[in-house]
A and B are shown apart, each in its own frame.
Chain A
Amino acid sequence: MRHTLVAAAVAVACTAAGPAMAQNTELDRIRKDIEELRNSYEARIRALEEKLKDAETNARKAQESATQAETAAAKAETAAVQSETATATATAQAGFRQASQNAFNPAISLILNGTWGRFGNDPTTQVTGFAPSGGEVIPGRGASLGESELFISSNIDPYFRGALLVALTPENTVEVEEAYFETLALGKGFAIKGGRHFSGIGYQNAIHPHAWDFVDASLVQGSFLGRNYGDDGLQLRWVAPLPVFLQLGAEIGRGREFAGAGEVERNRNGKDSQAFFAKLGNDIGVSSSYQVGASYLRQNSGPDGVAYLDYNDITGFNNSFVGKQSISGLDFVYKWAPDGNPTYRNFKFIAEWFRRKYDGDFTFDTAGVAQTDLLNAKQSGWYAQAIYQFVRYWRVGARYDRLSHGSTNLYANAANVTAPDFDPTRYSVMLDWSPSEFSRIRLQYNRDLARQDLATGETIKDNQLFVQYIFSLGAHGAHKF
């Protein structure tokens, strides 16, 4: 087509031409122009063809290395892996991200865990003299699945991030453990968390069970806080602009849980629960660091009250408590690693102490005959644990637990109920193996002296043995100190 056009143009040029000399010069010029045009087109086409060829080779190379890698991965042979992480070719390295809705998917991680437990005595028996805080504290007898935790989190926009933690319980129920938003852009050290979240009181309370150093919660955490105490409400935190870490926090909530007594039905306007905490921490040289904390939780049971412990462990009683409880706590964490490199060896020590006070009315209720009078009680408890990683992947740990029955004044109800004069204790040791950050197998032994034979007053000595696995799938979570 182009050739015809050009020929026509030349023909026209010829006929319209004047003197022969001029005609020849003109023709030469046109010929030269056409030649140049052709050359330039040919060069461009050649360049384009080469580009195309290059792109094809690159694509083939990328495909080849991908196929190679896949085959090798399938073989899962150690030696092959290094060649497997084959560097992608130029095309892949250009780093162009495909436009995709999925690119904004939140980070998802899933925790699988389970235990095998051996108990000398029935583990569902309550710790003597302390409120039962639910069967979740201790894994059951035999092989049992633990809670599978699904954690989904993401930045929402430049101002908020959000997270959901759902526990799929072995009883086939779904529990929303945490579902909260958190501010990103308040600045000046402030952050607000809202929704359902674990409280910032104490040290281990905000740590999910998969990150614990033992299979079970400490006695004091289990009895006073019911594993992980959380609420529906708001948390305000502030970090001071200091060279040491100083954090202050306050929480208000509806008091969804009456700490240590489980969930409470509430139909009230207001904020039946307030918590306050302060943490101070820093490094000591390059190898050690510490954090100390103090916390306070105040709760109102509401007019309907909460189920209160059956001190004498006699079935058929329906005791309840209406009033206030307060929990004060102190916590201490110390961590050490040679040169601050925890890869091969590291050590950590954790201790927490809590005191609980009840102030209100206690109703002793048997078969519809109820007697209500004042109740004032003070109980306390503490634990200390040390974990040592002696070689890469292997850790040993020991823990001592103690609860103090403190003082209980039942007033008129003293005639019906006797608060046991008993201090539960427990010794635990554990050994765990974590071949990667994503898996852990643990063996634990408890010498449990937390229960009393109420008839004879003798301490029930129990030996408990656990084997536990914890696996973490998906996104790599960042853990708290």
Chain B
Amino acid sequence: MKTLNSLFTTALLVIAMPVHATLDVFACEPEWGSLVTELAGTRAQVFVATTALQDVHRIQARPSLIARARTADLIVCTGADLEVGWLRMVINQSGNDKVQLGKAGYLEVANFVPKIEIPVVIDRALGDVHAMGNPHFQFGPKQVQLAAEEITKRLVRLDLAGEPEYRNRLQDFTTRWKAATERWRAMGAPLKGVGVVQHHKNYSYLFEFLDMKEVGGLEPKPGVEPTSSHLNELVARQQTDPARLIVRSSYQSPAASEWLAQRIAVPAIMLPATVGGTAEAKDLFTLYDDAIQRMLKALKG
């Protein structure tokens, strides 16, 4: 019954969709969904495939995703193999030619932004290494700006009538983003040089931007669950290379970071993995605000 109801509601929503929404956009992650909304306004109807409480590496090619990909005009995803376990299957099953690789409707942001932590050695013995580099670049202000520019190009290609609006919105976003970047730099100044341990490589771009010093990761290898021997190593490392903060993302279990926090008497905090990861992180701007504020607050203790 509940399903029927939700079906009915969805049908109503589709019918009641604003008439000027011309593009149907499928965003793999909330950050790109949010960015598309910034850049397209009501000209696009955005579906976001995952949430900040989910590990995007481990999503299933669910029927609902295939259905949404079927009607999409544009798919915006991170790329760099982040969605390797499901996106290809979703697109293949959808039978939608508009969003196939190589079409204007298929955008992997990773192909248009510089990435850090590009591994020199690629071997599965090293864990889930991303050959193209760290794909969690929603926390790189420069990367987000480049993503905005590429997304706008695609919006214009797919909906030429909206070009003036897309250009205006990009300009507006760029101005606001530039100002915000300066603000975050000033806001995060006390974090400069602070040693930090992160669960997975979710915040490397943010640490680089704020000039923080990553002294270790809870995962012994990318994508591998923290082990006690590895955590003990981190405890030992605290003598030579001290961390003042332990961070994990909204989709990771708190167990490992809290265990380490107790051992080395350093605050462990949760940061939003992306937009929607905390109540405060409502869009890309508030995502950065919230992440930086949470770190500042934890340091003040």
Residues of A within 8 A of B (CB): 62, 65-66, 69-70, 73, 76, 78-79, 81-82, 84-88, 92-93, 95, 155, 158, 161, 182, 184-191, 237-247, 279-284, 286, 289-291, 335, 339-344, 392-393, 435-438, 476, 478-481
- Indicate whether B19 reaches chain A with its CB closer than 8 angstroms: no
* Cα of A261 to Cα of B50 in the assembled complex, Å: 44
Nearest Cβ in chain B — how far from A399, in angstroms? 21
* Chain A hits for B87, CB < 8 A: 478
The answer to whether A479 touches B53, judged by C-beta atoms less than 8 angstroms apart, is no
Q: A95's closest neighbor in chain B, by CB?
A: B114
The answer to whether A339 touches B54, judged by C-beta atoms less than 8 angstroms apart, is yes
Q: A161's closest neighbor in chain B, by CB?
A: B92
* Cα of A79 to Cα of B252 in the assembled complex, Å: 21
Chain B: number of interface residues, binned into ranges:
35 or more
* Chain B hits for A84, CB < 8 A: 119-121, 126
The answer to whether B11 touches A243, judged by C-beta atoms less than 8 angstroms apart, is yes
The answer to whether B95 touches A237, judged by C-beta atoms less than 8 angstroms apart, is yes
Closest 9 CB pairs of A and B: A281-B63, A245-B63, A187-B97, A478-B89, A245-B67, A339-B53, A189-B95, A283-B64, A243-B10
- Indicate whether B297 reaches chain A with its CB closer than 8 angstroms: no
- Count of A-B contacts judged by CB separation below 8 Å: 189
Residues of B within 8 A of A (CB): 2-3, 6-7, 10-11, 13-14, 50-51, 53-55, 58-64, 66-68, 70-71, 81, 84-89, 92-98, 100-102, 114-121, 123-129, 216-217, 220-225, 229-230, 233, 237, 251, 253
A69, A188, A282, A478: the one contacting B121 at CB < 8 Å is: A69
Given A85-B129, A281-B64, A436-B224, A341:B120 Cβ within 8 A: no
Given A282-B63, A284-B2, A241:B85 Cβ within 8 A: no
The answer to whether A480 touches B229, judged by C-beta atoms less than 8 angstroms apart, is no
The answer to whether B126 touches A73, judged by C-beta atoms less than 8 angstroms apart, is yes
Nearest Cβ in chain A — how far from B106, in angstroms? 11
* Cα of A242 to Cα of B100 in the assembled complex, Å: 19
Nearest Cβ in chain A — how far from B14, in angstroms? 6
* Chain A hits for B128, CB < 8 A: 436
The answer to whether A478 touches B86, judged by C-beta atoms less than 8 angstroms apart, is yes
* Cα of A66 to Cα of B115 in the assembled complex, Å: 18
Given A78-B229, A281-B63, A340:B117 Cβ within 8 A: no
The answer to whether A282 touches B3, judged by C-beta atoms less than 8 angstroms apart, is yes
The answer to whether B118 touches A92, judged by C-beta atoms less than 8 angstroms apart, is yes
The answer to whether A341 touches B230, judged by C-beta atoms less than 8 angstroms apart, is no
Which of B11, B55, B84, B97: most chain A CB closer than 10 A?
Answer: B97
* Cα of A47 to Cα of B198 in the assembled complex, Å: 42
